[in-house]
A and B are shown apart, each in its own frame.
Chain A
């Protein structure tokens, strides 16, 4: 597992360096270097930046800005909600993306993405700046964290998960509401497993979650994912 450890933010920071500051101004308020850190922490375990990359849980996000919604041919995982949006001719322009990244479940109820949204408007701008720049040459982003298929395939025991979930629900609310700490109910189990493994391998940064995840076995993570998938995502 540990082979997948990546120091992605560091790599990007090195690549962009001083040039990042100048292009940040052009793009608006976002800082693509900071956006790259967010990408590594929040997105790269499920999405790639290149069409040629090994398929993750989510579609690749190469040339995302301006791309039709649900527009990656051959990606089978789009939710009904995104397909319906695509049917209306929707495009991932900056405005739509900004709203979606802040509150995915509010903007596209029914999305299968296991991510509750970015905490701040400035983080959203940073990530969009990164995605804008990352489009043409995404070769730096191929080292995204991946959980092996056999681990993703583990069938979780729901009642074990319910017991383990007691540790989560001190902070994460079972009714799916969230403020300051993300909602984790109703997630796609593979997203849940991927995110927990990313904490366990310390790819995601939060030390509380790293500590919690550090002692969870693959089976325990699968059990938690199975249990939380049974809980409803709160309507926003």
Chain B
């Protein structure tokens, strides 16, 4: 462990007093602003409030009034999870934990003044800032597609209405039609996500439209849980799914949303659904705060989740470069707890425990056919590094797969409780 700099608390309270803000209730208490109410941000806000017994003034900035999880949205596509059960309210964070929940957009960070500017006009002072802004898409990464086309070619890679749209499109496919996916290059949110989605779409089509085809254009040589997915696709959906990897031009694609065509290495295919998952980068506020690298992600300190560019800003979840940890809701939740421990130590002099991280990603391949991959991690000087890992095996019994699926439901209900109750 390296020795971490202790925060200097003098003057913070005075600074907070000078600036008018909707969160002025907390004058005199150290102020923590959390931007982004997903797995990283909601967890951070909740734990900051819960573990400091009112000693911190915690503000959560999140534009949406209801949070739709990305995880399990594929299960909704497959008919295994109700849409409304993907949605979660911020009410308990405000009423039970006393967090100032502001439904607004953060549009700027002044790191010298230590303030966050909101689209609604407010300026929030902070002693510590937590950014957990998720992802944005890299413009131009899929030629022919831009965000304006997401009504015809949905990404469904940010939760909510896009997911519902994609499902409606799958159900409206003509008999024997083609579902196409443009899979993203690394790194991206939820590594098994595109392939779980393929599984769920295949499940629906095998029941409703068994002569339909699924075509994946993939710029990656290999992907998460590949052996498990491919085994499952062969078993449950034989002949339905074709994946074109980079050897055959899967990395050279172009789409035409008007014509509903997908060109793979110049070969034009007419498709009925085209799910374009573009290349990704950190959510825009991270870039606006000047924290991103050339690739658009935020380098962090592995011991604390602090931005390497600013020791008063913590960056969680998908937006961060978290070493061996995948971009997942579980990872973000785990990272939030490390950041909270550091923030409480710096602002309230609470006990500092050494950072540790964990992740597990469950995926559903077919009815009761659940698999998982996971690891434990520790900080090193270079990065967050894997300590120990595991993955489901091919050829597992149906009983074990069903148990893994049940476990995933337990995890889902667990993590949303850990964020929102």
Given known contacts A163-B353, A215-B356, A181 and B418 CB-to-CB distance under 8 angstroms: no
A residues within 8 Å of B by Cβ?
119, 159-160, 162-164, 166-167, 169-175, 178-181, 207-208, 210-212, 214-215
Which residues of the other chain, A, contact B376 by a CB distance below 8 angstroms?
211-212, 214-215
Q: Which chain A residue lies CB-closest to B375?
A: A211
In angstroms, how far is the closest chain B Cβ from the Cβ of A211? 5
Minimum C-beta distance from B209 to chain A (A)? 31
Q: Please choose the segment from B196-204, B290-298, B407-415 that sits at the chain A interface, where 4 or more of its residues have CB less than 8 A away.
A: B407-415
Asked if residues A167 and B388 are in contact (CB atoms below 8 Å), the reply is no
Cα distance A21–B98 in the bound complex, in angstroms: 60
Are the CB atoms of B411 and A181 closer together than 8 Å?
A: yes
Interface centre among A170, A172, A180, A212 (most CB of B within 10 A): A170
Chain B residues with CB below 8 A from A210, complex form: 390
Max count, chain A CB within 10 A of own CB: residue among B47, B407, B421: B407
Q: CA A173 – CA B351 in complex, angstroms?
A: 24
Closest to B354 in A: A163
* CB-based contact B413/A179 at 8 Å: yes
The answer to whether B351 touches A207 (Cβ under 8 A) is no
Chain A binder among B248-256, B306-314, B329-337: B329-337
User: Scoring B residues 22 to 51 as 1 if CB is less than 8 Å from chain A, else 0, what string do you get?
Assistant: 000000000000000000000000010001
Contacts of A164 in B (CB 8 A): 353
Do B414 and A208 touch across chains, with their CB atoms under 8 A apart? no
Contact A170 B390, CB 8 Å, known A119-B403, A163-B341, A181-B407 = no
Contact A170 B418 (CB under 8 A): yes
Asked if A173 and B390 make an inter-chain contact with CB atoms under 8 angstroms apart, the answer reads no
Chain B 329-358, CB within 8 Å of chain A: the 1/0 string?
010011001000100000000010100101
How distant is B200 from chain A, measured CB to nearest CB, in Å? 19
Shortest CB-to-CB span from A124 to chain B, Å, is 14
B406 at the interface (CB under 8 A from A): yes
Question: CB of B387 within 8 A of chain A?
Answer: yes
Chain B residues with CB under 8 Å of A208's CB are: 360, 372, 374, 390, 407
> Contacts of A167 on B, CB cut-off 8 Å?
334, 337, 356, 358
Interchain CA distance A211-B334 in the complex, whole Å: 15
**Chain A neighbourhood of B353, CB < 8 A:** 160, 163-164
Known: A179-B410, A208-B374; 20 extra A-B contacts, CB below 8 A, are: A119-B406, A159-B351, A163-B337, A163-B351, A164-B353, A166-B47, A167-B356, A169-B414, A171-B360, A173-B417, A174-B417, A175-B417, A180-B406, A180-B407, A180-B411, A181-B407, A181-B410, A208-B390, A211-B390, A215-B378
Q: Please report the C-alpha to C-alpha distance between residue A4 and residue B330 in the assembled complex, in whole angstroms.
A: 33
- Find out whether the CB atom of B406 lies under 8 angstroms from the CB atom of A207: no
Question: B375 touching A170 by the CB < 8 A rule?
Answer: no
Residues of A within 8 A of B51 (CB): 162
Taking a contact as CB atoms under 8 Å apart, the answer to whether B389 and A171 are in contact is: no
Complex contacts, B390 vs chain A, CB 8 Å: 207-208, 210-211
- Which of A163, A164, A212, A214 has the most C-beta atoms of chain B within 10 angstroms of its own C-beta? A163
Q: List 28 contacting pairs A-B, 8 Å CB cutoff, sorted by A.
A: A119-B406, A159-B351, A160-B351, A160-B353, A162-B51, A163-B351, A167-B356, A167-B358, A170-B333, A170-B411, A171-B410, A171-B411, A171-B415, A172-B414, A173-B413, A173-B414, A173-B417, A174-B417, A179-B409, A180-B410, A180-B411, A180-B413, A181-B407, A181-B411, A207-B374, A208-B360, A211-B374, A215-B376
Distance A145 CA – B307 CA, assembled complex (angstroms): 45
Chain A residue at smallest Cβ distance from B39: A170
- B357's nearest neighbour on chain A, judged by CB, is A167
> Could you tell me the distance between the alpha carbons of A174 and B378 in the complex, rounded to whole angstroms?
24
Complex CA distance for A180 and B330, rounded to whole angstroms? 17
- A35: min CB distance to chain B, Å: 14
Please, which residues of chain A bring their CB within 8 A of the CB of B341?
163
Closest beta carbon of chain A to B337's beta carbon, Å: 4
Q: Mark B281-310, 1 if CB is under 8 A from A, else 0.
A: 000000000000000000000000000000
Residues of chain B contacted by A207 (CB below 8 angstroms) = 372, 374, 390
A175 to chain B, nearest CB (A): 7
